[in-house]
Structure 1
Amino acid sequence: MNVPQSIYAGILVASLFNGLSVNAQTVAVNKIAIEKYAPQSGSFPACTHIDHSGKIEIVTSGDRLFYRTDSTSPFRQSPISVLVDAHSVAFNAVEKRYYATDTGNHRLITFADPASDQWASFATSLAEIKLQRPHDILFDAATGWMYTLNPDSSQVFRFQGADGKVEVLDLSKQLGYSRALTISDGTLYVVGSSHGVVVEVTDFENQEFKIHRSFGKKRNAPAGSWQGTGLVLNDVDFHDGHWYATSYFCPSYAGEHNCDEHKFIRFQTWQDFEKGTWEDLSHLLPSKVVPYFLTPHEKGLDIGVFNHETRGDSACVYRLTTGPVSQ
């Protein structure tokens, strides 16, 4: 697939979608650049997530992890070879250990060094609830809590280390299939994928939350297209003044509809999300790839992408950066 390494665009504050025009009040003063970040050439076997912990970067790539110790070196395959369809990795800065969702094996594993083959099974259940294909995992440096979730039952777990407290937030009555978790400004968000909603957890201990429902939702589904289903969220994260959201749109699920439309959007407020006042950035990514987990950091916003139809083709990390428009 021949795609320019860098694509630039000045973006309007509102977009044109589904035959409905939203009037733009102002024009964004920043330009957006998206370029392929890793690997430098070719493709990973798969790619759902990239973790940044100091100088170490770890890409979650299905049954293997790929890592490097600085951004100029090539990625190496980790000798840890027990994973099945792993989705994400998080570094616990208190314990100085990594945690990975070993999704296909229905467990969490932990390790200290991706360059070593030493690892340990951390949990196959939490709070006496069996883990079922855990997808995302997060570490909240401000509180020391780690978070993970069961996608099908929409149970969110938080725990503190091997012998720490474990708590559960059950969102099964509010959500269907849910892929991701996000922490922004000290608040936990649960991404309701099939329902196209985001749950903002205002008080985990007291089970308090509010739900943000996306504009234009047509039916609940694990994947689809904008015209066929409305948003089917993979992840939502905040970066440089905007929320960014990815959706699981691909040819297999889109059918006769455009699989690229609104698969990658950004908006400023949850009111914008609910009213559909967002910017469609999908054209800045290659066609027919699925943008999955987002990783914001000081250098930009990283986007793990893969090809649903042909695994191992176009599986890589793209990086989004913003800057002032040249006069």
Structure 2
Amino acid sequence: MSIAYKFRYNMNSTKKAIFASVLLACLFNGRQADAQPRGVSGIVIEKYAPQSGSFPACTHIDHSGKVEIVTSGDRLFYRADSKSPFRQSPISVLADAHAVVFNPIEKRFYATDTGNHRLITFADPASDQWDDFATSLAGVKLQRPHDIVCDAATGWMYALNPNSGQVFRFMGSGSSVSVLDLSKHLGYSRALTISDGTLYVVGSSHGVVVEVTDFEKQEFEIHSSFGKKTNAVAGSWQGTGLVPNDVDFYQGYWYATSYFCPTYAGEHNCDEHKFIRFKTWRDFKDGTWEDLSHLLPGKVVPYFLTPHSKGLDIGVFSHETRGASACIYRLTTATTEQ
């Protein structure tokens, strides 16, 4: 980013100090110099679960009524309501599970059994009963499927092959399966999001978000992020630009996480811009976002986001020390439903 500044010769020291502090704030927040700074007043982020200690791993939390399920590597943790302690599910076949979703039409859960290259389904996390749902979709073999989402309004479900840029759409029964091939536009991709009936595909390594305007017609729009320096599966703001893990909409803002950690950041700050929010995709493109990273612990990776009436939940973990900082944080605002 190249920005030219002009100082008046007779600017006094006080004005210079004020100007310098505003300038540094703009640069730190990844904004153009003429952008108006926005505060983060009214935002609170607190640890939500577990109440003490850490999960063995943590990438995602799903809410279905009062039931909460956390994906935790090779296990699932669940509870029947927010007042109860989390329990380990007896389902013990998972390898590096990344996401879980409830299908309200079938009244069943679907999980990405990422390390086993498949999707599984189950009715009750308290039971050890489960079914192998799919190892391939639309004739395409699943390879480390990361995310799975359900559009409750239509019954369509979506899953993602992260390396190939393929997005699958299917009904819970496995019927009417189709695939959207975004391999020409995406590198490594971690997440899917449905907001207001629209599907979004998060292109992690390329720092883009693909808005699917019509899945049936294979129509989409690509939103590129500001300040992208190089394609990478992880990194730092200064070294790579954004490497988004997830993007989701909550109470008037888009929120985005990035895979920044000490291992991949090297000499750069791994916490800068790892958690941001912005109003519009134009803001995403221009870099006029708010950096909320300081509201999370340092040196942890914020991963999948889960918006709901009580807040915006953020799954976090330590890339370097697994099981030491794996938990769910919850963001609330002044307008969050209490």
- 1:82 pairs with one of 93, 98, 102: 93
Query: Counterparts of 1:157 and 1:91 in 2: how far apart (Å)?
Result: 17
Q: What's the CA shift for 1:224?
A: 0.2
Structure with higher strand content? 1
Give the structure 2 partner of residue 322 of structure 1. 333
The reply to whether residue 191 of structure 1 matches residue 202 of structure 2 is yes
Give the structure 1 partner of residue 158 of structure 2. 147
Give the structure 1 partner of residue 84 of structure 2. 73
Give the structure 1 partner of residue 104 of structure 2. 93
Which TM-score applies when normalising by structure 1? 0.93
Give the structure 2 partner of residue 112 of structure 1. 123
8 Å CA contact retained: 1:22, 1:277 = no
Query: Counterparts of 2:174 and 2:316 in 1: how far apart (Å)?
Result: 35
Instruction: Name the amino acid aligned to 1:132.
Output: Q
Instruction: Name the amino acid aligned to 2:51.
Output: Q
Q: Unmatched 5+ residue regions in structure 1?
A: 1-13
8 Å CA contact retained: 2:180, 2:218 = yes
Query: Counterparts of 2:37 and 2:316 in 1: how far apart (Å)?
Result: 31
The reply to whether residue 269 of structure 1 matches residue 280 of structure 2 is yes
8 Å CA contact retained: 1:15, 1:277 = no
Q: Which runs of 4 or more aligned residues in structure 1 lie more than 4 Å from their structure 2 counterparts after TM superposition? A: 18-21, 26-30
Query: Counterparts of 2:331 and 2:26 in 1: how far apart (Å)?
Result: 19
Instruction: Name the amino acid aligned to 1:263.
Output: K
Query: Counterparts of 1:22 and 1:297 in 2: how far apart (Å)?
Result: 34
The reply to whether residue 167 of structure 1 matches residue 191 of structure 2 is no
8 Å CA contact retained: 2:26, 2:37 = no
8 Å CA contact retained: 1:159, 1:167 = yes
Q: Based on CA coordinates, which of the two structures has the bigger radius of gyration?
A: 2
Q: What's the CA shift for 1:47?
A: 0.2
Cα 1:39–1:205 shift into 2, 3 Å: same
- 1:232 pairs with one of 240, 243, 247: 243
Query: Counterparts of 1:197 and 1:161 in 2: how far apart (Å)?
Result: 28
Which TM-score applies when normalising by structure 2? 0.90
Give the structure 2 partner of residue 123 of structure 1. 134
Q: What's the CA shift for 1:161?
A: 2.0
Query: Counterparts of 2:37 and 2:301 in 1: how far apart (Å)?
Result: 30
> May I ask how many residue pairs the two structures share in their alignment?
311
Cα 1:176–1:29 shift into 2, 3 Å: closer
Query: Counterparts of 2:154 and 2:274 in 1: how far apart (Å)?
Result: 33
Give the structure 2 partner of residue 137 of structure 1. 148
Cα 1:68–1:24 shift into 2, 3 Å: same
Percent identity of paired positions between Structure 1 and Structure 2:
82
The reply to whether residue 42 of structure 1 matches residue 37 of structure 2 is no
Give the structure 2 partner of residue 10 of structure 1. none
Give the structure 2 partner of residue 296 of structure 1. 307
Query: Counterparts of 1:23 and 1:264 in 2: how far apart (Å)?
Result: 22
Q: Please identify, of 20-29 and 291-300, the stretch whose mean Cα deviation from structure 2 is larger.
A: 20-29
8 Å CA contact retained: 2:45, 2:332 = yes
Aligned residues: CA RMSD: 1.4
Q: Secondary structure at the match of 1:252?
A: helix
Query: Counterparts of 1:87 and 1:166 in 2: how far apart (Å)?
Result: 22
Instruction: Name the amino acid aligned to 1:117.
Output: D
8 Å CA contact retained: 1:158, 1:168 = yes
**Deviation readout 1:4-60 (Å, 9 max, x if unpaired):** xxxxxxxxxx95437765445475585100000000000000000000000000000
8 Å CA contact retained: 1:15, 1:279 = no
Give the structure 2 partner of residue 11 of structure 1. none
Query: Counterparts of 2:172 and 2:247 in 1: how far apart (Å)?
Result: 26
Query: Counterparts of 1:180 and 1:281 in 2: how far apart (Å)?
Result: 20
Instruction: Name the amino acid aligned to 1:170.
Output: D
